[in-house]
Structure 1
């Protein structure tokens, strides 16, 4: 057999051995892994017939509780319908989780693919070049993120909180439209904690599912008797806006130094660069969101209003 024939066999062999997965009646070829978290993997896939590309979130469930959480994520996608929140186009579940038999199930979520990647990637590139986003662009994007968060806080029958808002969970469309993703941390916004065991359970859940440099103070050390509400997201938005301005959350910097993030968060001390391309209005907005006491933080409606005011004021000056 000549070299061309061998080459064709190798190529056919590669095609035949490509990983693929089924979601309901459609087949998708796996192209590459886009990301991996503690509970899931995100894959870039291609529809076998249309060749259109999508992202698939694959969640492997080792027990019934894992599967329940994964299926709840699918349900949250059905509840939230907003242009700044990623939609789940289809989902499927296969297998049966049983830790005794060492079997697992798999939940797949078919999602749109955004080729530009995340806001975290954008900020990383800009950080290397020391190229800040324009203030008008920061406020425009932040306003859209807030509108997406508002959809969670207004959810029916109960308000929801995202609980893990950060640059890594914001995708960018081709026109710089921000899209909130990863609903795996979403939970009912208002939680009445009654007793130390409930407090510890919530604290453990937060440590698993809420990224430390963006986690609200009340989730680091949950009081035995308290009410947690959607203003956990407002704290995260404060950290997010700071990162949009200065490439990282103020507590990312603490973490990288090896200091205690928990102590820094609970102290509530926020430092702003003395040389900055941003106005005092932006710093004041961040500071209002980063109040240690959740009772002193604004709700999302006030954040949106303040952002709109800062945006209008800046545009009139420029």
Structure 2
């Protein structure tokens, strides 16, 4: 059997590396070879790939998705693309959006150009990983995939643009593009600038944690095991030109989540510092996952209580992984 060669962009990051570890792990699909293309910026950590580094089907290329020559060469050598690579932190996009547009929009276009040249006959699959933030904010109910996009942050706007460009390549050229839009991810190996790992790593060091505004913004939480499950269903069984929402089914206010994290880390509310709300902070996200459940059989398997306990335990036991990253994050943070 000929191996399926998959190019995974951003595969040294939080979600991408878990996807790669899962593909090449004991329960992964047979006959798969994976090449990771990652720029290895502050959020891309080669150590995330240590469990698969000696796997005969694994290779790592340090490079930028905006490097057209490199991307073209790699695409010629692979059958499918799973595109995670993105600038993804909303706060950073508010401080400076240029790099978000460059990577998220320009990098996606460069990948699509190469895919069209080499996979334009319909044989290749291009899975574009996106976010629920492209929909904007919803006060009640949940977004189906057909809901109009209404992004409110520079990050979300850059991802919405990438979604539309990718889908346009299917409609115009027939390229096999499949888009996934996920809710907030959590789990191990998460860079400690996002809410859950930020709170955990600060609380474990006896520090205060910041809570935006009144703490009543609502997010749905998706464990990385379930996200990877959804991505694989879309890659292997999804329909070309379709969008699939992937959610975790646990909606919490940030205040409710903070309470759970305080309890798990043995801290009290005196460790919480209320800070001015983020500019343009979306109030509530909520995905309707009926489509992926009905068509592909997706169901989240990790209950939130178990997943959160496992996540806190992992950070407690792996300080040598995250403490150096905090220093790197400070060096990489844009100036106001």
Q: TM-score, normalised by structure 2?
A: 0.26
By relative contact order (CA 8 Å, sep 6+), the higher-ranking structure is: 2
Structure of greater Rg: 1
